[in-house]
Amino acid sequence: MDAQLSSDQILRLTRNHSGPTPYPANEFGNGLKTIAAMIAGGLPTRVYYVSLSGFDTHAQELPRHDALMKQLAQGLDAFWQDLKAQQNSDRVLLMTFSEFGRRVQSNASGGTDHGAAAPMFVIGTGIRQGLVTPHPSMSDLDQGDLKYVVDFRSVYASVLQNWLDTPSKPILGDQFRVLPLVKT
């Protein structure tokens, strides 16, 4: 019964939601719009997740990657404008991550293969601006891969401990270095 009530509430909240900036008419934009509606509706959920797929480009990478980055930027902009209009932007931390990095060198098909390091972005008014770590070296590679500078679990630990006020070790299985991401 609780699940049915929650489902009905989510449908009611999301049915007619629109933000000040139109959301892209795609799965990613629709997912962000749904999340913004649930935040506006005061749902107690602390973590939401939406995915943008298609980055596994091993051939003809540049045009596809440009289109995906445009889709990402337009979706995040609409979402953030919506949160600001709701006066909820101070309550939200947005984090992007990739399940894999890309190699530095192109392959024979004009794309790149899976690599070891990938960027993460953490966005919000409660986040310190700028780079937290230096860029990885483009010349000091590990068998063709960038060497990551920060273990992604340190970013997760930082968000868990300093944003969600939750101990990270039980979730991550170990204690990872906490980064100065969140303003104090």
User: pLDDT tens digits for 77-113?
Assistant: 999 999 999 999 999 999 998 877 777 887 777 777 7
What does the pLDDT read at residue 124?
A: 94
CA torsion sign for 157, 159, 161, 166 is negative
CA end-to-end distance (rounded Å), the chain: 41
Q: Residue 2 — very low, low, confident or very high, per pLDDT cuts 50/70/90?
A: low
| Residue 160 covered by a domain | no
For residues 68 and 76, give the distance between their C-alpha atoms in angstroms, rounded to a whole number. 12
The 3-state secondary structure of 46-73 reads CCCCCCCCCCCCCECHHHHHHHHHHHHH
Residue 157 belongs to some domain of the structure = no
Q: Is residue 68 part of a domain?
A: yes
Mean pLDDT of the 129-136 span: 84
Q: Are 157 and 172 in contact (CB under 8 A)?
A: yes
What pLDDT digit, counting tens, does each position of 11-66 carry?
888 887 888 889 999 999 999 999 999 999 988 889 999 999 888 777 777 888 89
- Specify the pLDDT at position 88: 96
Structural domain harbouring 82: 2-92
Looking at the chain, the whole-number percentage of residues with pLDDT higher than 90 is 52
Distances (CA, A) of 42 to 49, 50, 84, 87, 91: 17, 18, 15, 12, 11
Task: With respect to residue 71, please indicate whether it lies within any of the assigned structural domains.
Answer: yes
Kindly state whether residue 140 falls inside one of the protein's structural domains.
no
At 4, is the pLDDT very low, low, confident or very high (cuts 50, 70, 90)?
Answer: low
Q: Report the number of distinct structural domains present in the chain.
A: 1
| Residues 125-152, mean pLDDT to the nearest whole number | 87
For residue 103, the model assigns a pLDDT of: 76
Q: Is residue 115 within 8 Å of 106, Cβ to Cβ?
A: no
Q: What is the pLDDT of residues 153-165, one digit of tens each?
A: 999 999 999 999 9
Residue 26 counted as domain residue: yes
List, as one string, the DSSP characters of 91-152: G--EEE--SSEE-SS--TTBS--EES----EEESTTB--S-SSPPPPSSS-BTTBPPPSS-H
Q: Is residue 84 part of a domain?
A: yes
**At residue 95, what are phi and psi to the nearest 5 degrees?**
-130, 130
Give 145's strand partners: 142
Flag whether 141 is in a domain.
no
